[in-house]
Amino acid sequence: MELVKVERNENAFLWQRYAVRCAEVQARAVADGTATAYLTERPVKPALRCDQRAPGDQINEIYAFHGTGGEHVDSICQRGFDGRIPKADGDFGRGIYFAEHVSKSNQYVNCPRCRRGSIGTKHVDPPWGACKCTAAQVEAHNGGVYKMLVCRVVLGNPRVVSLLEYMKVAVTERDHTNVAAGIAEPRQGWGGPGTSGLNAVPDVPSPADLSAAELGEVLDAMEPALSSIDEDDIDVARAQGQAALAAILVRAEREWRRRFRLPAQEGTEQCDVIMSEDRAVGGIFNLREYVAYDGALTYPEYVLHYKRVLPEGVPPPA
């Protein structure tokens, strides 16, 4: 990636909205929370820290990258992010996604010529279908320049989500039977309607509330990562049924959080953003990311104009 130009967005209305939310977060004294202690131990990249605030005014403010279609960049700079607009099919539902690695956000910046995804992602349907434009065509269209946002994001009290917690929610997004109560009830997942508002967290199920089939699905999805649990113990639990499977997941959660020092958080605990760790420390995806559901917790401050340059020796796509 070759940086061409940087623009600074100065928007008095958005800045005032952001400043009010910062003051509200600061009033809650989030600096004393367990998630803040975790961020002290595993901080964001040094270049992305916002260090202008006094130590006593800690609100866990960072800079983070946001990739989107170039046609949306000007609108975001003028009107800000709106948590109601994104689609609900994201990994954490209808939210505003940020990354601390530019390479991750770059995957979501589509081609300025055809507006399709020009780097392979999980999105394969229009308008994210594969871009067929050649480098020469993109160059002729707008000089081959792409746009990405660098935003201030207030993490406040982030909810640090482990892979185990993520899978428990993802597997049970549909209606399920509450094993303990013996009744059918709806279960809200990452994409549920409640995750489009401030301080909303999904209803994270207890293993005791899941059926043996649901527990089996969680284990199937997680087994490659359950290195702390002996395979024989898992096989025995599968044979014994729901109670044994639930005990295995409780044990995995406890050992996982102790191993990676993930903060202990209750399923009903309010938060400001969702924080997904990278796999190296018990997280979900290959790189750390943040999801805000309230656009006022963000301020789009810079627009990066850049070109995608193939490494030396790598041929261009046909």
Is residue 314, in this structure, part of any structural domain at all? no
Q: What is the mean pLDDT of residues 96-101?
A: 93
Task: Provide the residue range defining the domain that includes 247.
Answer: 163-261
Confidence of residue 214 (pLDDT cuts 50, 70, 90): confident
pLDDT digits (tens, 9 = 90+) for 102-130: 989 998 898 888 888 766 544 445 445 67
Give the CA diameter of the chain: 64
Per-range mean pLDDT, top range of 74-83, 111-120, 128-137, 228-237: 74-83
pLDDT: which is higher, 186 or 161: 161
154 close to 22: Cβ distance less than 8 angstroms: yes
CB proximity list for 119: less than 8 A, separation 6 or greater? 106, 107, 109
174 close to 205: Cβ distance less than 8 angstroms: no
- Tokens 């992602």, residue located: 121
pLDDT > 90 fraction of the chain, expressed in percent and rounded: 23
Record the tokens describing residue 160, joined without a space. Answer: 């640090």
> On the CB side of 249, how many CA atoms lie within 13 Å of its CA?
30
Question: DSSP assignment, residue 278?
Answer: B
Q: Is 197 in the same domain as 298?
A: no
Record the tokens describing residue 158, joined without a space. Answer: 């982030």
pLDDT > 70 fraction of the chain, expressed in percent and rounded: 74
Which CATH number characterizes residue 34's domain?
A: 3.90.228.10
Residue type, 152: R
For residue 6, what pLDDT is reported? 97
Q: Is 81 in the same domain as 135?
A: yes
Return d(Cα 123, Cα 86) in angstroms, integer.
Answer: 14
pLDDT digits (tens, 9 = 90+) for 19-36: 999 998 888 767 667 777
Q: Is 80 in the same domain as 124?
A: yes
For residue 122, what pLDDT is reported? 47
